Chains A and B, each alone.
Chain A
Amino acid sequence: MATKGSGLQAKVSRMLSKDFGKPILKPNKPLALRNEVANRKLRQGEASCLTEMSVMMACWKQSEFNHAACTQEVQAFQRCTALAQAERKARMGQESSGQGGRLHPKQANTLLKRHPNLYREI
């Protein structure tokens, strides 16, 4: 393992140096891992209850906003919103606990802060 690492360092320093013609690498950031992980949000956006809403609006248009005539559609819409809200709550609770075997970016960041990579001698 130690031998593999040293070979990589030699190659990288060769690519950076100006002794062998033009340098192949010109990095603007240090060639080292950061002590942070990028925050990715994997939830895709979708609007919930669109069909129910459109059905309700069609009913409203027909009956010229007479609310007494549309009680069925309104109740269906409200049921759908209640379901969507419960689902969203369940999903939020589940997301923060486990991300399918992987670590949540926030948790990874806290761990890395506690045990950072040392690339400088202090």
Chain B
Amino acid sequence: AVRPIKAAPPGLTSSVFSDPTVSKFVNMMMEDGDKVLARSIITQTFESMKRKQVEKYHKAPATEKEGIECNPYTIFHQALENCKPIIGLISIQKGGKYYQVPTPLTDSRRRFLAMKWLITECRDNKHRRTHMYEKLSQELLAAFMNEGNVIKRKHDMHKMAEANRAFAHYRWW
């Protein structure tokens, strides 16, 4: 008998330009199922990042020219890596009170947190009249340089985990 075959998801392509992390980011940014809008925002983000980096490249003296990264995909991946937290906090109830316990995170959870922080930070904490692609490109370039609010949030998480390290024994896994 013929077994039924699962249909391929619409976001999956076999082209050389498809990137699973970028697709995941697009899906997370999507609202009301408008993938076209989310995807266009991402492409505009990459374009603006490339423009900024190329401008910097042309203005830089010859010695620094090699240090400037122009490929927006590598910048995106590196910025995401810089935003990923290493340790997370989990709310555990013990003796009637809830404690924030530091715990290791899985890779998927870390990637999700990094992307979520990026998106919420761009949506909330920026000037009202700037476009999303503009805000995203600023944030991604800052994260690439290890500056900016998302990196600060990651550091805050680590500091909280470090402060609560006494409660690490409340974990049972």
Interface set of A (CB-CB < 8 Å, partner B): 45-50, 53-54, 56-57, 60-61, 65, 74, 77-78, 81, 84-85, 88
Contact = CB atoms under 8 A, between A and B. Distances in A.
Interface residues of B, number: 17
Contact of A47 (B158, B159, B172): B172
Nearest to A70: B86
A88 B86 CA distance: 20
Interface in B154-171: 155, 158-159, 161-162, 165, 168-171
A86 B64 CA distance: 45
Interface in B129-173: 155, 158-159, 161-162, 165, 168-173
Contacts, number: 44
A53 B173 contact: no
B168 A85 contact: no
Contacts of A61: 162
Given A47-B169, A48-B173, A53-B87, A60 B162 contact: yes
A20 to B, nearest CB: 50
Given A49-B104, A85-B106, A60 B158 contact: yes
B104 A53 contact: yes
B172 A54 contact: no
A74 B165 contact: no
Given A53-B104, A81-B104, A85-B106, A47 B162 contact: no
